């Protein structure tokens, strides 16, 4: 998963910009990215806010974009959909935020007014959804324009830690909503999480809100499994032997798990999930899939299971904020590396070489 | 779907039996069935009841057995898992039913005591589940032994109609639980039912408990679609042109349906469901599948949908009884043909040639 | 419940206004109301819309205000929180509605942005809630200013009937949300509705979305009970003999009802509800109460019941619109009298003398 | 709450019985109890089991009986509805338990077959419910007859601790079902528990399954509050000043709590709950009430709250067993005193003088 980078002659050290320009991490087609000058964003719609970024981070999805997997992303696009910052300017339709407010930026922009938003499905907002660093410029920059600011920003708690809070932009609500809520984790449940990457670990952390009795963590990487152990997994299964499903069935005396959470996004890991789900259980898909999978309906039609998919809605951000502030969730645990935003090219290398670097989330700070 | 039958020399008209023997419809391997003498069942366990059958019916699953699709069924097995009858004898552990009580026999036997039964998953009862006419002798006979009688029988309402009530043995709870409840049909929803056979029609009838705004019925057979119209479908789609999904998308202006209910059990019909489910929607699988399907996770991973499977639990039988008794559900509408039980060989022919005969449910009566 | 009215010398027939003034129904302290000139509303906030009223109606709450029961209402306040109209002007923050759009006005104004709105509790919106005709000027006028227009208006369906649609402003969502949803009415349930006034009848109409088996309607007025019969009640109980609870218990063979819905707002009717709720049942309070009630916890602590209260949130308006459009709900049935808006003084008399006039909802239309 | 005891001349030390008699704690009318000889129970119905008690405990309800508050309890009744024991004999209808099995006895007996049991409302079982030590002889004895054994006993986990497990007979499911589940405690919630007695503390322990952000514990006794602190309460409020509600409102900046759990059973503590519940919140009643309360509907009708009551159903016992076995719940923390069963008279004194003795649960063990 190493990401090739754009080799630009850099005649001087990267610097922060002034005036009407700014620095930003820009996508220039598959394999190409640069930290370069861009025009500062300006208010375009009544609901917009301009936010000066103080902390951001890199997501696995950014790597997918750089690999060219999401062709909808244009050359010239500023990447990034996670961040903490300070409101610099607001449009006339913004009522909940004011200049100077410190905010958490949600990866999903929500107009709050359309039918999907009213149903709590911000991910499918007719005027927003996941657009930051995808169809509009994102947060790996000095400034970002946030459309529908009232539905897309959250107040940064007075005494909070930016490193912890930036995990609320995407990874924590993703793990919680797509994995834990959709999987309906209950006290006493036996659950399995397939994939101990950052998102799988976010599932692991937030699943414990509901006191499952057993949490099996399945991954190919023993280092990540060791982290999972520290984060609360009760059994670790290295799937390198191709026998993960068998191990789970042995551990559960043939019953399988109440909830199987897929946090990778490939057919092989989905197959583990469908092989281990107990009668009456749930398969919650968190991973981003690029191919169809074979669903074994001839075995599952009478098993009374559910399979769910979900693009994170971030509707649980207020709840997650409360839990983080109560101290029951320590999201900063997910951070392994820290960089100045000016070193973002290096940060991408570190994040992209996760196995070698032992990286989970890398945090980028400004100023 | 014509079913070959066992050609036995019948020297006299079929008669009902006396003494310790009885007549029953017996499976003798793929394609072979006979109405023949069998020993009358006797109490074997404390929870057993012996029921004299007064009304029974034939299920599509019985045809599957006769085709040899369910090899677990032994030569010599009495078929049938639906019926109305009168309790003739009870074991010492039976407390809710007494000799002389008229009862509805559930297709699923529930011990009520195991972990699955306590969770309302009678279908996975550790001592029961679907066993009648499958792993133990069934209801297409003069008498049947019902294990776990207290969890497997329901009192027949004083003034009710046997023809209507026998639809509560299987088809109504199947359509309702697997299709309507799992599909979470809500007032105002747009739903599609793929398959207008008896089970799909049971879905149609019971979906209306929740006042959906639009019900699309999809089938290859215009006669069945016409019945669906009469039963409350708001749009009919003949899928013979292979364009069912496109028609649904046109009718919904590209939005798709809130609930897609699969009531056939083949990959093609499942494909229709995954092509038409709206973001945030549910696919409820009712059909019995013999093969895997291709699940388009690369398209569905971010659609916030759920897919459910279920073998009927019959836990809603008390609720269905109340609705039937209130007159809001007229299950006898599903009955197209009536036979004396002694004509069951002919009844199988009629039911097996559904397209030609225009048959939905055939009712068999004794005495 | 007759409402005294302000006797003004009226030298000419009431007329519609011109220019910057308009006619409106104005509250002038307990017992005093007038149809008089007021300044036309203007945009005050970015989220405002100005709506020209084409249809409105009178609510029981308006009578409460006129009796002086809600002292928060100031002298000079234009009454009314229900209406249909046409958008005349919008502020810069309004994105979902445009000049010329025909709209349904919700009785509850929702900013959609605050914590309560995000939880679907529009009734407790920190910037809105029930304010129209209460703390700001209302809809019984030629024009009204609607704050938070994107959350407080709904598109009027192209081919719909204004008389039917104005029932969606308040009475239908009130009956549905506070009574039916909070009461968790399910197929096969036995329910009782105490109070056959307009709101009780709205409960009755919308409860049928869920196919209850029996609906007992309880009221003192046989005429209203007769209407309830026509609307789908299965048993009528005149409570004049003080024996309503006993009648319900007799009809249910001592079991009581699954759901008891209080739609009056006085201790006596709440008492009926707590006397008739079955073990495991729900009491859903719809009525507006002015006094405490005695809750018989010494009898109810072990009955596994729930009691709910709710100010309507109007979050179900989109669902109700779909059901109305499907033809499964005919809200115009609730309309008994029609007036030109210029005859609103007379309309109040008719509505206020409900028993004598046989009035349910009175509809007011503008030229 | 000191309980007077029957002063019997005891000429010898209490002993365990032999043959067909046994020793038991017997109620002889208000204020009178004795540890005396009784006939050993025998199988009466097919579903019965006889259990030899190894561990039992005393409940606050036993004190209520001794005070004469539950006149339905007859002179001569053996008290007690909690216990651990070994199955000595089973009737022919018992299938899940066998002679020699170690079991947890549930305070609620469930036939599993009636309509209430099928709905999970074992508390209202038509043939059981709370009967042990109430309408039939109970567990404070050497032997007890358990009707409907398959629905009223749970397997004792192989390696478990009797002291911990006996908390599963009543107090833990009571706190969990009536308080936590009915209160719908969610991650991030702010909750208040009124009453830090054994049941209130059981609420406190089990509420943490769902990761509330703040737990206020309200009681008159600082010693109990100190225990609550140790058990996870985040704020302690001594209500002796009559200002508990005000303190809660101050701590929540006027918002009130998401869930208020009443665990005492008197009007004053219910009043605290209704004064502190936030809009949209829940009041879960756990206490046993002897008098009506005044419900402030004039203040609450528009607050969108729910109030629930419940006699424990014990349907969550399997879930609780899983959580206890996972180590996430340590119920033995509730045990403050231990006695041999032969010292039960003394144990009652200790338990009855809770404030002075600092007692929560007292455990009684047999040889």
Confidence at C21, pLDDT banded by 50, 70, 90: very high
Of D93, D113, D117, Cβ closest to residue B46: D93
**In this predicted structure, what is the pLDDT of residue A67?**
94
Of B211, B234, B325, Cβ closest to residue C323: B211
Mean pLDDT over each residue of chain A, to the nearest integer: 94
Cα–Cα distance for residue pair D109/D124, rounded to 1 Å: 10
**How far is A119 from chain B, CA to nearest CA, in Å?**
9
User: 3-class SS at C4?
Assistant: coil
CA C196 vs CA A179, A312, C355: distances in Å:
46, 45, 12
CA angle A213, A214, A216 (to 5 degrees): 160
D318: chain A residues, CB-CB within 8 Å: 188
Q: Cβ(D173)–Cβ(D154) under 8 Å?
A: no
Any B CB within 8 A of D319 CB: no
Tokens coding A157:
């708690």
Chain D, nearest residue to B95 by Cα: D113
Tokens coding A294:
């074979």
Q: Which strand (E) or helix (H) includes residue A336? A: strand A335-340
**How far is C328 from chain B, CA to nearest CA, in Å?**
7
Start-end of H helices in chain B: 60-67, 115-118, 149-152, 162-165, 171-173, 198-207, 222-231, 244-251, 267-276, 297-300, 317-326, 344-352, 354-357
Any A CB within 8 A of D188 CB: yes
Mean pLDDT over each residue of chain D, to the nearest integer: 94
Please determine, for residue B355, whether its predicted confidence score (pLDDT) is greater than 70: yes
Cα–Cα distance for residue pair B223/B201, rounded to 1 Å: 13
Polymer length of chain C: 367
Q: Cβ(B266)–Cβ(B239) under 8 Å?
A: no
State the first-to-last Cα distance of chain B, in angstroms, to the nearest integer. Answer: 30
Please determine, for residue A15, whether its predicted confidence score (pLDDT) is greater than 90: no
Q: How many CB pairs under 8 A join A and B?
A: 114
Confidence at A9, pLDDT banded by 50, 70, 90: very low
User: 3-class SS at C266?
Assistant: coil
**Interchain proximity D211–A323, CB inside 8 Å:** yes
Burial-class residue A147 by CB neighbours within 10 Å (0-12, 13-18, 19+).
buried
DSSP letter at B165? H
Q: Cβ(C10)–Cβ(C126) under 8 Å?
A: no
**In this predicted structure, what is the pLDDT of residue A367?**
67
Give C108-143 pLDDT, tens digit per residue: 999 999 999 999 999 999 999 999 999 999 999 999
When scoring B115, B266, B304 by the number of chain A Cβ atoms within 10 A, the one with the most, hence best to mutate, is B304
Cα–Cα distance for residue pair C62/C27, rounded to 1 Å: 10
**How far is A61 from chain C, CA to nearest CA, in Å?**
28
Cα–Cα distance for residue pair A125/A120, rounded to 1 Å: 9
Of C187, C321, C326, Cβ closest to residue B209: C187
Cα–Cα distance for residue pair A193/A201, rounded to 1 Å: 9
Q: Cβ(C158)–Cβ(C101) under 8 Å?
A: no
Mean pLDDT over each residue of chain B, to the nearest integer: 94
Confidence at A12, pLDDT banded by 50, 70, 90: very low
Cα–Cα distance for residue pair C232/A315, rounded to 1 Å: 39
**In this predicted structure, what is the pLDDT of residue A16?**
52
Please determine, for residue D4, whether its predicted confidence score (pLDDT) is greater than 90: no
Tell me the mean pLDDT in the region D46-71.
Answer: 96
Confidence at A7, pLDDT banded by 50, 70, 90: very low
Tokens coding A73:
């992303």
Q: Cβ(B61)–Cβ(B118) under 8 Å?
A: no
Tell me the mean pLDDT in the region B74-102.
Answer: 97
**Interchain proximity B92–D46, CB inside 8 Å:** yes
Give D270-321 pLDDT, tens digit per residue: 999 999 999 999 999 999 999 999 999 999 999 999 999 999 999 999 999 9
Q: Which strand (E) or helix (H) includes residue C270? A: helix C267-276
Question: Which residues are within 8 A (CB) of A232 and not within 5 positions of it... i.e. 6 or more apart?
Answer: A204, A205, A208, A215
Any C CB within 8 A of D64 CB: no
Burial-class residue C32 by CB neighbours within 10 Å (0-12, 13-18, 19+).
middle
Q: Cβ(B212)–Cβ(B284) under 8 Å?
A: no
Question: Which residues are within 8 A (CB) of C47 and not within 5 positions of it... i.e. 6 or more apart?
Answer: A93, A95, C91, C93, C94, C111, C147, C148, C149, C150
The helix-helix angle for B198-207 and B222-231 (nearest 10°) equals 20
DSSP assignment of B93-128: T--S--TT-EEEEPSSB--S-SHHHHTT-GGG-SS-
Chain A, nearest residue to B264 by Cα: A301
**In this predicted structure, what is the pLDDT of residue B261?**
98
Tell me the mean pLDDT in the region C345-363.
Answer: 95
DSSP assignment of C183-244: TT--TT-EEEEE--SHHHHHHHHHHGGG--SEEEEEES-HHHHHHHHHHT-SEEEEGGGS-H
**Interchain proximity C112–A112, CB inside 8 Å:** yes
Q: Cβ(C167)–Cβ(C105) under 8 Å?
A: no
**In this predicted structure, what is the pLDDT of residue B2?**
32
Chain C, nearest residue to D179 by Cα: C304
Cα–Cα distance for residue pair B256/B304, rounded to 1 Å: 13
Question: Which residues are within 8 A (CB) of C297 and not within 5 positions of it... i.e. 6 or more apart?
Answer: D270, D285, D289, D291, D292, D293, D309
Tell me the mean pLDDT in the region D222-242.
Answer: 97
Give A237-290 pLDDT, tens digit per residue: 999 999 999 999 999 999 999 999 999 999 999 999 999 999 999 999 999 999
CA A56 vs CA A82, A138, A164, D118: distances in Å:
6, 10, 11, 53
Of A214, A318, A325, Cβ closest to residue D326: A214
Any D CB within 8 A of C195 CB: no
Cα–Cα distance for residue pair D123/A40, rounded to 1 Å: 66
Cα–Cα distance for residue pair A169/A81, rounded to 1 Å: 8
Any C CB within 8 A of A92 CB: yes
Of D210, D318, D320, Cβ closest to residue A210: D210
B320: chain C residues, CB-CB within 8 Å: 188
Of D265, D292, D301, Cβ closest to residue C288: D301
Q: Cβ(D168)–Cβ(D195) under 8 Å?
A: no
Each as own residue / partner, the long-range contacts of residues A335-339 (CB below 8 Å, 24 or more positions apart, any chain) are A335/A163, A335/A167, A335/A360, A335/A361, A335/A362, A335/A363, A336/A360, A336/A361, A336/A362, A337/A361, A337/A362, A337/A363, A338/A163, A338/A362, A338/A363, A338/A364, A338/A365, A339/A363, A339/A364, A339/A365
Nearest to C42 by CA among C166, C147, C116: C147
Tell me the mean pLDDT in the region D73-96.
Answer: 97
Please determine, for residue A2, whether its predicted confidence score (pLDDT) is greater than 90: no
Confidence at D7, pLDDT banded by 50, 70, 90: very low
Q: Which residue has the tokens 């914590």?
A: C115
- E strand segments, A107-150: 143-146
Tokens coding A68:
């060219």
DSSP assignment of D23-58: EEEEE-STT-EEEEEEEPP---STT-EEEEEEEEE-
Tokens coding A101:
């407010």
Tokens coding D253:
């900046």
Neighbours of chain C (3+ CB pairs under 8 A): A, B, D
Cα–Cα distance for residue pair D6/B282, rounded to 1 Å: 65
Confidence at D18, pLDDT banded by 50, 70, 90: low
Chain B, nearest residue to A308 by Cα: B306
Tell me the mean pLDDT in the region D209-213.
Answer: 98
**In this predicted structure, what is the pLDDT of residue B5?**
38
Confidence at D6, pLDDT banded by 50, 70, 90: very low
Neighbours of chain D (3+ CB pairs under 8 A): A, B, C
Among residues 333-352 of chain A, which lie with CB inside 8 Å of chain D? none
**Interchain proximity B289–A297, CB inside 8 Å:** yes
Nearest to B126 by CA among A299, A255, A296, D46: A255
Cα–Cα distance for residue pair B248/A285, rounded to 1 Å: 26
Please determine, for residue D333, whether its predicted confidence score (pLDDT) is greater than 80: yes
Cα–Cα distance for residue pair A222/C334, rounded to 1 Å: 68
C315: chain B residues, CB-CB within 8 Å: none
Polymer length of chain D: 367
**Interchain proximity C306–D307, CB inside 8 Å:** yes
Percent of chain D with pLDDT over 70: 95
**In this predicted structure, what is the pLDDT of residue C6?**
36
Question: Which residues are within 8 A (CB) of D212 and not within 5 positions of it... i.e. 6 or more apart?
Answer: A326, D185, D186, D187, D188, D189, D190, D191, D258, D259
Tokens coding B214:
């639009």
Give A79-131 pLDDT, tens digit per residue: 999 999 999 999 999 999 999 999 999 999 999 999 999 999 999 999 999 99
């Amino acid at each position: 998963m190493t990401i090739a980078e754009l080799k630009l002659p850099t005649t001087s050290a990267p610097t922060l910009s002034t005036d009407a320009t700014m620095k930003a991490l820009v996508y220039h087609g598959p394999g190409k990215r640069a930290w370069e000058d861009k025009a500062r964003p300006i208010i375009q719609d009544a609901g917009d806010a301009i936010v000066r970024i103080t902390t951001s981070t890199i997501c696995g999805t950014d790597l997918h974009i750089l690999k060219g997997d999401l062709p909808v992303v244009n050359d010239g696009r500023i990447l990034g959909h996670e961040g903490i910052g300070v409101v610099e300017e607001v449009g006339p339709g913004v009522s909940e935020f004011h200049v100077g407010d410190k905010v958490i930026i949600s990866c999903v922009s929500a107009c709050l007014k359309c039918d999907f938003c009213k149903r709590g499905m911000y991910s499918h907002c007719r005027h927003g959804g996941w657009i930051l660093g995808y169809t509009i410029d994102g947060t790996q920059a000095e400034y970002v324009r946030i459309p529908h600011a009232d539905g897309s920003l959250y107040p940064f708690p007075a005494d909070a830690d930016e490193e912890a809070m930036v995990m609320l932009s995407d990874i924590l609500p993703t793990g919680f909503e797509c994995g834990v809520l959709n999987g309906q984790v209950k006290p006493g449940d036996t659950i399995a999480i397939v994939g101990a990457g950052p998102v799988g670990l976010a599932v692991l952390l937030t699943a414990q809100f509901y006191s499952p009795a057993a949490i099996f963590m399945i991954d190919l990487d023993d280092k990540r499994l060791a982290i999972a152990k520290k984060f609360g997994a009760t059994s670790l299964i290295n799937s390198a032997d191709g026998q993960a499903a068998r191990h789970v069935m042995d551990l559960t005396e043939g019953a399988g798990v109440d909830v199987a959470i897929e946090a990778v996004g490939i057919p092989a890991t989905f197959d583990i999930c469908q092989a281990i789900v107990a009668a009456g259980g749930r398969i919650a898909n968190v991973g981003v899939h690029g191919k169809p999978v074979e669903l074994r309906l001839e075995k599952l039609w009478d098993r009374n299971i559910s399979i769910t998919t979900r693009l994170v809605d971030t509707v649980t951000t207020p709840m997650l904020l409360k839990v983080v502030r109560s101290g029951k969730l320590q999201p900063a645990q997910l951070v392994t590396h820290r960089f100045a935003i000016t070193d973002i090219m290096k940060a991408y290398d570190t994040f992209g070489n996760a196995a070698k670097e032992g990286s989970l989330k890398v945090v980028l700070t400004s100023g």
